[in-house]
Amino acid sequence: MTRRDPLNAPSLNGAVISALFALIALGVAKVVGGFDWTPAVFFAAVVFAAAAVFLVLPWGGASAKAAEPVAHAAPKAQPVTVAAAVAPLAAPVAAPVAEVAPVASDAGSKPAGLAAPRAGQADDLKTLEGIGPALEKLCNELGIWHFDQIANWGDAEIAWMDSNLKGFKGRVTRDKWVAQAKLIGSVGVEEFLRRAKTNDY
């Protein structure tokens, strides 16, 4: 885009050049042509007027200013924040799924226990194959002190004990506690120990 001065603005440079032409014309008319001052001045005035038509007035070549380019202002870049740049790349985060706590369920029925051994004398449960000091202590904590208690367990009690003997799960069924306890109740401890050597129970 170019910009020009208004058409009615005179050119100072054109006026100076026109005056120079007039002086030159005056000198030529006076010296070379031998004219008197009056015709010489008149001739100079004509030259000045002619030069002014082309140089002083706005449409003259000398009066026209060089076109000045007007630069279009470039649009100001908007600052981009780090959050705005990263936001499109961020994958949607799935909401955490709440974990459901497992519900404890004990199989079978807990055998009836005793707060203390009868007459203050507990049976030696270690007599049963598969029961050591640790298991005997655990049975006592559950209220099991005597062989006849074990002999009276049904399937529900056996299932509960198998599931709740911490560190010894399944031992009641595997080692046949109920069968051993019933045999002791039938034949006594000594006969049981004899048969136990051959697992005859």
Per-residue pLDDT of 74-90, as tens digits, reads: 556 666 565 555 455 55
Distance of CA 66 to the CA centre of its chain: 60
The pLDDT assigned to 189 comes to 94
The pLDDT assigned to 130 comes to 92
User: Which of 89-93, 159-163, 182-186 comes out lowest in average pLDDT?
Assistant: 89-93
Q: Which is nearest to 151 in space by CA: 201, 101, 104, 194?
A: 201
Is residue 71 predicted with pLDDT exceeding 60? no
Region 148-158: mean pLDDT is 97
Most confident stretch, 14-23, 88-97, 120-129: 120-129
The pLDDT assigned to 143 comes to 96
Is residue 101 predicted with pLDDT exceeding 50? no
The pLDDT assigned to 153 comes to 97
Task: List, for residues 103-151, the tens digit of each pLDDT value.
Answer: 334 579 999 999 999 999 999 999 999 999 999 999 999 999 999 999 9
The pLDDT assigned to 39 comes to 73
CA distances from 45 to 23, 25, 55, 60, 189 (A): 9, 9, 15, 19, 159
pTM of structure: 0.47
